[in-house]
Amino acid sequence: MFNLKYVSMESFIKKIFEGKTDESVHLQFVKFSRGEFKDRALVSATKTANKYSISTSAEYANELVRNIAQLLPPGKKVHVTGAIITTLNLKDNPILNKFLTNIKVSQFQGVKKYQIEQDIDK
């Protein structure tokens, strides 16, 4: 198991305050119009015995997965559960299609839910 206290996640909020804007920062703002958006950039983490549970709002999803995956030793697999909710057909992407081959997909009113439960490596 890897030690989460050593994860150094440079979030988009930290980058903004340090003046280090990049594509990941830009992507956080292109999906919103003007106004105030409450309940954004939320994180909840718990540890029980040898199990970690991390829940975030969508703003941290990509950064969190990328940073934790970098901690995995080559060849080490971890059990991943969760869902990807989108209006896009992710199976049209050749790279994602390989990963999503055995994933259960449900759809309601154009919104697709890809239910993930599998062992994956880095």
pLDDT above 90 covers what percent of the chain? Answer: 7
Tell me how far apart the alpha carbons of residues 42 and 88 are, in angstroms, rounded to a whole number: 24
Confidence of residue 115 (pLDDT cuts 50, 70, 90): very high
pLDDT for the residue 112: 92
Q: pLDDT category, 27, cuts 50, 70, 90?
A: confident
- Residue range 31-60: average pLDDT? 80
| pTM: predicted TM-score of the whole model, two decimal places | 0.55
pLDDT of 6 reads 47
pLDDT at 53 over 90: no
Distance CA 84, CA 93 (A): 14
